[in-house]
């Protein structure tokens, strides 16, 4: 199996040239972050990913987790790896210094998190949950809860979960049945069943904090009647002794992939019900939980980049080593697979889209930082762009990465279908990424109905205008002026399609719902092209090597030739997305 290497050169290019020191310096979080410190963080995170986490990836897949009387054991070596992770302070990388964190910017956290996810996705899932829980508690404004749990979570002594899903309530949270009843002492007792809870029980830490969605008595029906509760795994009894709360792991799922990550069923109840505390206002739990969910959606999009990168590295190494067939021009053979144009096409398809998606992830990390600093001159615009592009990053990148892991298997040929090469695990592990934290269909509906239709496309059109303006210098670029022209045409085509939907199809619910995924995919393809175009411009900086500059130009040329034309296909689908849907009779 090919050894994994964190794409540190790409990460440095994105931070130092594409984003640039000038924009980083505008962030309060970067006041103490010079290039030397930033590089040291990247290098140390890469070392941990490559030397500690990556060797455990196959072990976790092969061993899986074990459940015994409500206790879950993780694969061999994972508890020690987590202890190292915690002791190094990685759990609080971008969390507030006041809680024991390092207060480093989100854009840097996105960069180093990709390395952990690429090295060992199943292990790394525990980190964004804990980070998101802290962000949710901070968003609630409840100083007591922050004081009670914040430092424990930031230090990594505790971990956190997001307990939403129930047996009869998956994406439709309005159907949930878990109940919360006041206990008469300022707390609540919760009863119900939750499932698909990532790291709901494990042996990496003794204590966990479950953020649980539940209904209060007489709460309004549907999603407007959902409250959020902090439910610790252990509580102090009247004698000050630590006792288990009434939260029991009743099962762990046997899954297609991510075997090293325990996906748990939790029962809240027992004699009195699980004790918990209200987070935020009654019946307003989703507003706070969405803070955690949006953090998770960015993390899942990054998973696509990370695992796709690892699959690319494995496929490239195989293509350079494996000799088959003859050279198409010289006739000499056998030659390495990488010399065949079709294999080159597959590899460049992987490389160009992953590079672009990595740059988009860094861009969104920067938008998080800008949005959090309310005095930042671009704070409002950053929040709007973050809201607009999060479903694109989550859905388009994971759909793309699933396709790319399949391409890696294709390059390996029959050996890719054999477990010993390792690429089958990448394919299996990543398959869930288009499903959890909101399926592709749900992301597409969020994008069209909440992010475009709600303000009649105002934020969307502004983003397209900024995109065109930022790419304008490409029109005078010696090598890439034709790519600029194609990008411009696609921006206009997307604008015209959205305008037509908003002006003429507003009342055609069937078409809009059926068209939403195609619209999301078209926007995702354009967003990646935008990042490649900006990368070409950034590569003109001093400090970028001629080889790197040449290769980035080649990636844009390839992407514009092979992937940008797909936008037209998706926009054609948008125009006629309802054809046949109502006519066909199922059953």
Task: Give the DSSP letter of residue 223.
Answer: G
Structure tokens at 355: 């590079």
Q: Are 86 and 92 in contact (CB under 8 A)?
A: no
Q: Are 332 and 325 in contact (CB under 8 A)?
A: no
Residue with tokens 């914040």: 150
Q: Are 279 and 288 in contact (CB under 8 A)?
A: yes
How many angstroms separate the most distant Cα atoms in the chain? 84
Which residues are registered as beta bridge partners of 161?
Answer: 210
* 437 tagged catalytic: yes
Distance CA 118, CA 310 (A): 6
Task: Give the DSSP letter of residue 142.
Answer: -
User: What is the residue-wise DSSP string for 401-453?
Assistant: HHHHHHHHHHHHGGGGGSGGGSHHHHHHHHGGGGTTTS-HHHHHHIIIIIIII
Please report which helix (H) or strand (E) contains residue 84, including its range.
Answer: helix 78-87
Distance CA 229, CA 149 (A): 13
Distance CA 121, CA 100 (A): 26
Q: Are 212 and 228 in contact (CB under 8 A)?
A: yes
Calculate the CA dihedral of residues 451, 367, 362, 132 and round it to 10 degrees.
-80
Report how many helices (DSSP H) and strands (DSSP E) the chain contains, helices first.
Answer: 19, 12
Distance CA 474, CA 201 (A): 52
Structure tokens at 454: 């709600």
Collapsing DSSP to helix, strand or coil, 191 comes out as strand
76's torsion region: left (phi>0), alpha (psi -120 to 50) or beta? beta
Distance CA 313, CA 19 (A): 25
Q: What is the CA radius of gyration of the chain?
A: 24
CB crowding 350-386: b at 16 or more within 10 Å, else e: bbbbbbbbbbbbbbbbbbbbbbbbeebebbebbbbbb
Those residues whose C-beta lies under 8 Å from the C-beta of residue 63, and which sit 6 or more positions away, are 75, 76, 259, 260
Q: Are 314 and 1 in contact (CB under 8 A)?
A: yes
Which residues are registered as beta bridge partners of 230?
Answer: 211, 277
**What Cα–Cα distance (Å) separates residue 354 from each residue in 311, 371, 400, 474, 525?**
11, 25, 9, 21, 12
Could you say which of 437, 458, 521, 548 is catalytic? 437
Measured at the CA of 262, the angle between CA 300 and CA 66, to 5 degrees, comes to 160
Query: How far out from the chain centre does Cα 413 lie?
Result: 29
Q: Which residues are catalytic?
A: 437
């Amino acid at each position: 199996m090919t050894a994994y290497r964190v794409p540190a050169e790409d990460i440095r290019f994105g931070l130092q040239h594409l984003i640039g020191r000038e924009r980083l310096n505008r962030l309060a979080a970067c006041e103490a972050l010079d290039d030397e410190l930033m590089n040291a963080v990247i290098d140390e995170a890469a070392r941990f990913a490559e030397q500690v986490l990556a060797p455990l990836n196959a072990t976790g897949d092969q061993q899986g987790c074990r459940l015994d009387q409500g206790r879950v054991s993780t694969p061999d070596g994972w508890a020690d790896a987590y202890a190292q992770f915690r002791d190094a302070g990685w759990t609080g990388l971008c969390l507030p210094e006041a809680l024991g964190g390092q207060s480093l910017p989100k854009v840097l956290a996105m960069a180093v998190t990709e390395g952990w996810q690429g090295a060992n996705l199943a292990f790394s899932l525990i980190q964004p949950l804990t980070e998101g829980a802290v962000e949710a508690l901070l968003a609630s404004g409840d100083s007591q809860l922050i004081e009670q749990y914040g430092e424990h979570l930031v230090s990594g002594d505790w971990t956190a979960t997001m307990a939403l899903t129930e047996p009869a309530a998956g994406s439709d949270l309005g159907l949930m049945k878990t109940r919360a009843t006041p206990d008469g002492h300022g707390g609540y007792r919760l009863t119900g069943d939750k499932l698909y809870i990532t790291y709901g029980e494990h042996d990496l830490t003794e204590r966990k904090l479950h953020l649980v969605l539940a209904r209060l008595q007489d709460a309004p029906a549907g999603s407007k009647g959902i409250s959020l509760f902090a439910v610790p795994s252990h509580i102090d009894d009247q004698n000050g002794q630590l006792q288990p709360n009434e939260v029991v792991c009743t099962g762990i799922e046997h899954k297609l992939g991510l075997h090293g990550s325990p996906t748990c069923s939790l029962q809240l109840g027992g004699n009195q019900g699980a004790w918990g505390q209200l987070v935020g206002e009654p019946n307003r739990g989703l507003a706070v939980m969405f803070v955690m969910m949006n953090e998770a959606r960015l993390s899942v999009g990054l998973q696509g980049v990370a695992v796709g990168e690892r699959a690319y590295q494995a496929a490239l190494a195989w293509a350079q080593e494996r000799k088959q067939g003859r050279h198409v021009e010289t006739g000499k053979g056998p030659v390495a697979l990488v010399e065949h144009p079709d294999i080159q096409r597959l590899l460049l398809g992987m490389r160009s889209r992953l590079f672009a998606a990595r740059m988009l992830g860094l861009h969104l990390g920067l938008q998080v930082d800008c949005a959090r600093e309310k005095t930042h001159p671009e704070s409002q615009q950053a929040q709007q762009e973050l809201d607009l592009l999060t479903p694109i990053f989550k859905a388009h990148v994971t759909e793309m990465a699933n396709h790319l892991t399949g391409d890696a298997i294709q390059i390996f040929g029959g050996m890719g279908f054999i477990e010993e090469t390792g690429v089958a695990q990448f394919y299996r592990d990543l398959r869930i990424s288009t499903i959890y934290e909101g399926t592709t269909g749900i992301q597409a509906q969020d994008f069209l109905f909440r992010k475009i239709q709600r303000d009649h496309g105002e934020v969307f059109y502004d983003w397209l205008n900024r995109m065109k303006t930022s790419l304008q210098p490409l029109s005078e670029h010696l090598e890439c002026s034709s790519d600029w022209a194609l990008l411009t045409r696609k921006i206009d085509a997307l604008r015209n399609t959205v305008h037509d939907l908003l002006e003429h199809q507003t009342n055609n619910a069937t078409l809009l719902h059926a068209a939403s995924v195609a619209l999301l995919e078209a926007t995702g393809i354009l967003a990646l092209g935008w990042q490649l175009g900006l990368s070409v411009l950034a590569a003109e900086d001093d400090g970028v090597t001629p080889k790197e500059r040449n290769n980035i130009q080649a990636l844009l040329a390839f992407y514009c030739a092979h992937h940008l034309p797909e936008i037209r296909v998706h926009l054609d689908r948008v125009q006629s997305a309802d054809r046949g849907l109502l006519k066909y009779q199922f059953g």
